[in-house]
Structure 1
Amino acid sequence: MAAGLKRDPIVILRINGEDLNEFVENPGFETEAIAIFSQVEPTNATLLQCLLAALRQLTVDHGIPPSSDSWVMENVIEPALQELPADKLEQSVSQGVFFQEFRKFLAIITRRLQEHPVIVAHTENTFDGSDIKKLLSNKFELDKLLASVWRGVPKGKDRTAEYIRVAFDRMADSVNLPPYGAVEQVDAVVNEAFKMAKADDGKAVDELEFKKLLTDILGAVMLQLDGNPISVSTNSVIHESMSTSSTLLSPSPPSPMVSSPSE
């Protein structure tokens, strides 16, 4: 994932309970909490199961640090759960009970974040096909890139789909696409583009056909992303103390720390 997002600035967030408190105190909280409950409540689920599932629906935008992080789980979430009635946590839950306990749960988390702020590195990227459009409109740059990837194809081998996929992946960074396998939604778009271009039929192709296939695939990906851009964000906890009290700090240079997508 980091390889696909490496050119994006990293924003350092200090999550200290302020945003979460605003979320809980907002008049629309009840409506959103009920909507979350309807999404996460399986048959005969306990309150504990529902609270944890609901928490995974919240993000840094709500003021919640990544719950998948072990430090956050051990120092924020689990202690907050321990302050709720243990017997109630193991009981099946109604919508009304969930709403009341979810508010209490988030209020406790807010307090713990005030006492122990969490520093999170956050980055976002939107894949909208605009860089592909620029490349396709510049014949000189397109021809140069196609020539470069063609030279990378092993000589004496049939130029089948296997090598076309490798060549396309080598072009990805030049058109602001993540490496294949890094972003599932983008992979689906690329797969569809290969089908549209009939590049998966295993047929051997010469240099001209090879370059035409890649150009057609680029065009198909561009059209899909132009109509339905894909936004991806990552959040990673920085395990060190920071003395500043500001909620949002200046962006820091990109680092390999941002590598896992948020829940």
Structure 2
Amino acid sequence: MGMAAALKRDAVVILRIDGEELLEFSKNPTFETDVLSIFSEIGLPDGSLQDYIMEAFVKLTVDQGMPPATDPWVVSNIVEPALQSLGDVSQQPVSDETFLTEFTRAIESVAQRLKEQPAIVAHSQNTFDGNGIKRLLSNKFELQKTLNFALESVPKDQNGEISNEYFRGALEILASSAGLPPFSAIDQMDNITTEALKMFEMHDRKMVNEEEFKKLLTQLLETIMQHLEANPISVSINSIVHESDTSSSTVLQPSSP
């Protein structure tokens, strides 16, 4: 729900994925390099060839013509039937040459399945580049209101002072107002936040008053904003749309900015 709220301002595009773009991807001059790069990223030392192929499909995106391969409908109607048509893909160990050959065949089979039964995908993309934080910081009234709301939610001692260990909790409370995703939604964002927090959790004073806490929290937002301005994070959300059913499955994928 938090991720959906963070992306609610972005338009949703309905894509019909019918295997054509997947075949184009397989004929791209960089295909072999791309596939071997995917193979090197898959950490399955005891995995079978089928395990590697399944994981490789998960790493493909709608830009490459692949619907979200973790969606149950895609697995049961597209990927698994395609793998069954290949015969025995259970052997171990898996070499890069074998993987390249069999994954190419698997892509062709998946493309054929998609041609027969296209996947309808609701696609949305958002880039976290610090602009949400910049907008909040530029509106002094909104900033103070947001900081005060966060302040009300953190514990204080008998002197009204706050431990700097509550920076993370306060930041999570104001994340949506700053145009940030909730914690644990995006690994890259979590890494930036964790690094920024380390600087402030090492503050000389472990306990600070309310005004200093708000000042430091503002500086924390500025630090995160600078990180995002230098290295924006782009994320796409892909949901299979079942025309005869109201249910859907959502897949969150980081993508290159």
Shorter chain as denominator, the TM-score bin is: 0.7 to 0.9
Question: Measured at CA, do residues 216 and 66 of structure 1 come closer, stay the same or move farther in structure 2, by a change above 3 Å?
Answer: same
Partner in structure 2 of residue 9 of structure 1: 11
- Conserved? CA contact 1:194–1:200, under 8 Å: no
Partner in structure 2 of residue 261 of structure 1: 252
**Cα distance, 1:32 vs structure 2:** 2.3
Question: Measured at CA, do residues 200 and 178 of structure 1 come closer, stay the same or move farther in structure 2, by a change above 3 Å?
Answer: farther
Query: How much is the aligned-residue C-alpha RMSD, in angstroms?
Result: 3.0
SS in 2 for 1:197: helix
**Cα distance, 1:108 vs structure 2:** 1.0
* Structure with greater contact order relative to length (CA < 8 Å, sep ≥ 6): 1
User: C-alpha distance in 2, partners of 1:185/1:30?
Assistant: 27
**Which of 221, 240, 243 is the equivalent residue of 2:243?**
240
Q: What is the percent sequence identity of the aligned residues?
A: 48
User: C-alpha distance in 2, partners of 1:227/1:23?
Assistant: 30
User: C-alpha distance in 2, partners of 1:99/1:184?
Assistant: 29
- Conserved? CA contact 1:161–1:201, under 8 Å: no
- Conserved? CA contact 2:71–2:249, under 8 Å: no
Matched positions, count: 250
Task: Give the partner amino acid of 1:185.
Answer: Q
The gaps in structure 2 that reach 5 residues or longer are: none
Task: Give the partner amino acid of 2:229.
Answer: D
**Cα distance, 1:257 vs structure 2:** 5.5
User: C-alpha distance in 2, partners of 1:256/1:168?
Assistant: 33
**Cα distance, 1:237 vs structure 2:** 1.3
Q: Structure 1 stretch 55-64 or stretch 164-173: which is displaced more?
A: 164-173
User: C-alpha distance in 1, partners of 2:30/2:167?
Assistant: 50
SS in 2 for 1:261: strand
Relative to its length, the structure with more strand (as a share) is 2
SS in 1 for 2:207: coil
**Cα distance, 1:30 vs structure 2:** 2.7
The gaps in structure 1 that reach 5 residues or longer are: 243-254
**Cα distance, 1:81 vs structure 2:** 1.0
1:22-61 CA deviation, whole Å, 9 max, x = no partner? Answer: 1122233233233333443866754323322322221111
